[in-house]
Structure 1
Amino acid sequence: MASPADSPVHNITTKAQFDELVKTTPYVALQAHASWCGPCKAISPIFNKQAKENTSEKFAFAKFDTDDVPDLAFELGIRSIPAFFFFENGDKDSDLMGAVPPKLTAAIGGYAEKAKGGAEEKPAEEKPAEEKPAEENTLKTDENF
């Protein structure tokens, strides 16, 4: 198992640390989570895998615990977690709420292409070739199982 130091995902512990990352990296994918959040724990391996496959000089991945950095959670207007935010050239470009693996993978893939100089349209608006029923795209939790 890789140590946290080997992880391509930056662990944000202060708002200033996050501000610096967004200022110095053209594309940033940010995961908001909490240690007590079951859906956050379920989607984190997917986010980490995408980070491992797509991190570059132009595309960084970061995460923060909303309980540890409440000023950043407040600034982003987080009302539920997990939440994912995508920044382009220092500005919040799009967001994705909830643990929905296909949508997260598609959004990250779109930003990875943009970071490589590819796609121009927002990836969160892309539709998969064949949409699965909503219940198949929803992470099962105690509340909706």
Structure 2
Amino acid sequence: MLCHPFLLVYTARTAKYLPYLDAKASGGGSYSKGCCSDASCNDGTGDVKTVQSLQHWKDLKRTEPLLVVDFTASWCKPCRAMAPIFEGLAKENKGAAAVFAKVDIDNLPETFDGTSIPAFYVFKNGVKVDSVTGSGESKLRKLVADHVGQQQEDGSGASPPDDKKVQ
């Protein structure tokens, strides 16, 4: 186990990151192989990853081909109202190639380039390709359907319809 004064102070708060930090300290591993390959960085549902550090954010953007992100804040009532909808969409699309994540902009303001929350962004290969803001469930569902559904049609998660299969 990695022993470092910083970790001794914050161990209780960051215990879920110790496997990642230990792998990094020994010169191996990556965030996707440490934290995000198991349930340790997921919220209570197990379907939405909670981004806790700038490095985690950078690693997710770098390693995930399709990333759907909920930018939120604990004080934001519309954000809290949209959270169960976002979590439901993550569950509905669990078999898809998309990764669903949430970022508290008060904890990681450098990750957010918008002006209002809740904001939902779609990143493809680290590049923001689409977004919606506000508490409209239908807008969020359309955003996810447009991009996650398209990703599945492109062959990364679902088989093609019968009429497109090679005979």
* Structure-2-length-normalised TM-score: 0.63
Partner Cα distance (1:53, 1:32) in 2: 20
Higher mean C-alpha displacement, 90-99 vs 3-12: 3-12
Distance in 1 between the 2:97 and 2:152 partners?
8
Equivalent residue, structure 1, for 2:87: 48
Q: Deviations over 1:41-74 (max 9, x none)?
A: 101111000001113462100001110111112x
Q: How many residues were matched structurally?
A: 114
Task: Indicate the residue corresponding to 1:88 in structure 2.
Answer: 124
Q: Which runs of 5+ in 2 are unaligned?
A: 1-41, 156-167
2:103 is the counterpart of 1:67 = no
> Is 1:18 equivalent to 2:57 in the alignment?
yes
Residue 52 of structure 1: SS of its match in structure 2?
Answer: helix
Secondary structure, in 3 states, of the residue corresponding to 1:41? helix
Q: Matched residues in 1 for 2:101 and 2:45: separation?
A: 13
Distance 2:151 2:48 in 1: 17
* Structure 1: distance between partners of 2:86 and 2:66: 15
SS in 2 for 1:61: strand
- RMSD of aligned residue pairs (Cα, Å): 1.9
| Within-5 A mapping of 1:1-145 | 4=43, 6-56=45-95, 58-73=97-112, 77-118=113-154
Question: 2:30 aligns to what?
Answer: none
Give the gaps of 5 or more residues in structure 1: 120-145
Over alpha carbons, which structure has the higher Rg? Answer: 2
TM-score, normalised relative to structure 1: 0.72
Structure 1 residues 106 and 60: CA distance shift in structure 2, 3 A: same
Equivalent residue, structure 2, for 1:137: none
Paired amino acid for 2:118: P
Check the 8 A contact 1:26/1:115 in 2, yes or no.
Answer: no
Structure with the larger RCO, 1 or 2 (CA within 8 Å, 6+ apart) = 1
Tell me the CA shift for residue 118 of structure 1: 4.3
Identity of matched residues, %: 32
Structure 1 pair 6–92 and aligned structure 2 pair: CA distance change class (3 A): same
| CA distance in structure 2 between the partners assigned to 1:57 and 1:26 by the alignment | 11
Q: Distance in 2 between matches of 1:11 and 1:36?
A: 17
